[in-house]
């Protein structure tokens, strides 16, 4: 199973094509729109999120609420497009447009300068348009489709924010449904009310100063069978694939599983999860410090992935940069921007991880219809039970 995305942040729409979904999967716009709305909600976003109301439209592969086995094509329209038709080249420019059109002062921390040099573009808007995290709308939509497949097999995904700037939230071990319910009610997606207030204050203070904030987000996947991914080849290790996908999210700079970087400080006896067996339950772990993986394969314990997002690079109190025309120092060109996108990014993380898990699920149980996959899955569970 794979997908590709296309589209610019100020273009007419974002597009994705998903290849390899089975037939007979119930699929409507509703659960996809639910994930798109969650991505738009987090505290700290700029004016753009007030303009957009993201909704998916299936344009291939779905009939009467079920997949057919054909590629699923989906689009999400940009409501902001109508304000950019001349600048994006769909209509002739008018007086005064030219100055707004060309982007020639690269922002430190964004893709502008590297992309401009690499693609030989003197208008770095051609880079900005595609590097923008607007692209995550359709990545979330693809992840949301993957979640529908996972849900058929009782696999659930949740996410939370653990840090924004200096403010750390207390991490509670909660049943996954409760974690989903509590974080959904929080504008910064935390379970810790006291930290919530301080996070909101920190975002407001950064905004006041023309500055931005990053943070740490976590995703939990519960209900995976043992053995998704494989130890036999580097590119089949599912933790490795998740790491690649996570660091590919705009502004994500690091990833860890389970206790992650903490493991460096501890002795092996405090790191590894002891193996137990109980009749009826089968093999299980006494703890889950590994975050659900050993040997690139799921252990059957929850997958726990944490990731760091750097602060947004477009600062209203701009950093110094160099104008590509004059080669003179300049304070970087200010584009409209978010102050903090960490809560929104926790939703992106969930859906990106869900995609990778679903892809590994399809590789293991792959079939052309949902019924075929279910038969393969049940057969495997029986084999594991009898091991
Ligand atoms: C949800 C989300 C919203 C973002 N919003 C902005 C923004 O408003 N302004 C900005 O400069 N960067 C924003 N970014 C980050 C940039 O897209 C990112 O830093 C840029 O593409 C360069 O990629 P890199 O940081 O991964 O190296 C956002 C990222 C995410 C995930
Ligand atoms: C549009 C989204 O995020 C955008 C990501 C982004 C960036 O540089 O990554 C810059 C901003 O774009 P604009 O300049 O149009 O306001 C964000 O709003 C979105 O998340 O849907």
- Domain of 141, CATH number, reads 3.60.150.10
In the predicted structure, residue 168 carries a pLDDT above the cut 80 = yes
20: burial class by Cβ within 10 Å (0-12, 13-18, 19+)? middle
Q: What is the mean pLDDT of residues 9-38?
A: 98
Q: Which domain, by its residues, includes 299?
A: 2-385
Annotated ligand binding at 310? The verdict is yes
pLDDT of residue 98: 77
DSSP readout, 57-87?
A: EEEESEETTEE-SSPEEEEEE-GGGGGTTTT
Annotated ligand binding at 130? The verdict is yes
- Tell me how many domains the chain contains: 1
65-104: pLDDT as tens digits: 999 999 999 999 999 999 999 999 999 988 888 777 889 9
Q: Measure the CA–CA gap between 329 and 11, rounded to whole angstroms.
A: 31
Write the CA distances from 244 to 115, 236, 256, 286, 356, integer angstroms: 21, 12, 11, 29, 10
In the predicted structure, residue 37 carries a pLDDT above the cut 70 = yes
Least confident of 154-163, 192-201, 216-225, 310-319: 310-319
pTM, full prediction? 0.97
ipTM over cut 0.95: yes
In the predicted structure, residue 333 carries a pLDDT above the cut 70 = no
Q: What is the residue-averaged pLDDT of the chain?
A: 96
Locate all alpha helices (DSSP H) within 73-223, ordered by sequence: 97-101, 112-119, 125-131, 136-151, 176-184, 193-208
Annotated ligand binding at 47? The verdict is no
Higher pLDDT, 96 or 305: 305
pLDDT of residue 332: 67
pLDDT of residue 334: 72
Q: Measure the CA–CA gap between 26 and 10, rounded to whole angstroms.
A: 32
How far does residue 48's CA lie from ligand 2's centre (Å)? 7
Percent above pLDDT 90 for the chain: 94
248-280: pLDDT as tens digits: 999 999 999 999 999 999 999 999 999 999 999
Which of 42, 77, 103, 337 should be mutated for ligand 2, with most atoms under 8 A from CB? 337
User: How many other CB atoms sit within 10 Å of the CB of residue 138?
Assistant: 26
């Amino acid at each position: 199973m794979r997908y590709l995305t296309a589209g610019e942040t100020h273009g007419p729409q974002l597009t994705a094509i998903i290849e390899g979904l089975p037939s007979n999967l119930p699929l409507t716009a509703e659960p996809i729109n639910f994930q798109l709305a969650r991505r738009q909600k987090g505290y700290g976003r700029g004016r753009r999120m007030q303009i957009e109301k993201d909704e998916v439209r299936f344009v291939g592969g779905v009939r009467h609420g079920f997949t057919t086995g054909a590629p699923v094509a989906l689009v999400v329209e940009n409501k902001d497009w109508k304000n950019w038709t001349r600048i994006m080249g769909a209509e002739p420019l008018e007086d005064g447009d030219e100055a707004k059109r060309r982007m020639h002062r690269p922002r430190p921390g964004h893709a502008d300068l590297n992309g401009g040099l690499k693609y030989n573009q003197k208008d770095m808007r051609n880079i900005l348009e595609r590097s923008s995290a607007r692209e995550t709308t359709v990545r979330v939509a693809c992840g949301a489709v993957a979640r529908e497949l996972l849900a058929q097999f009782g696999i659930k995904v949740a996410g939370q924010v653990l840090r924004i700037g200096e403010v750390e939230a207390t991490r509670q071990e909660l049943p996954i449904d409760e974690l989903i319910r509590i974080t959904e009610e929080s504008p910064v997606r935390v379970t810790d009310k006291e930290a919530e207030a301080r996070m909101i204050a920190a975002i407001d203070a950064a905004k006041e100063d023309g500055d931005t904030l990053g943070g740490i987000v976590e995703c939990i996947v519960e209900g995976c069978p043992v053995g998704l991914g494989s130890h036999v080849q580097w590119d089949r290790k599912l933790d490795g694939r998740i790491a690649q996908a996570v660091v590919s999210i705009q502004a994500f700079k690091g990833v860890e599983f389970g206790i992650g970087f903490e493991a460096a400080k501890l002795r092996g006896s405090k790191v590894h999860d002891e193996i137990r067996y109980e009749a009826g339950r089968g093999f299980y772990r006494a703890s889950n410090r590994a975050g659900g993986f050993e040997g690139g394969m799921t252990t059957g314990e929850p997958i726990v992935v944490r990731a760091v997002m750097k602060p947004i690079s477009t600062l209203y109190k701009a950093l110094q940069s160099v104008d590509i025309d004059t080669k003179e120092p300049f304070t970087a060109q200010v584009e409209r921007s978010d102050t903090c996108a960490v809560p929104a990014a926790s939703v992106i993380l969930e859906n990106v991880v869900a995609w990778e898990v679903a892809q590994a699920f399809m590789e293991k149980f792959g079939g052309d219809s949902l019924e075929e996959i279910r038969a393969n899955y049940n057969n495997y569970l029986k084999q594991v039970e009898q091991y």
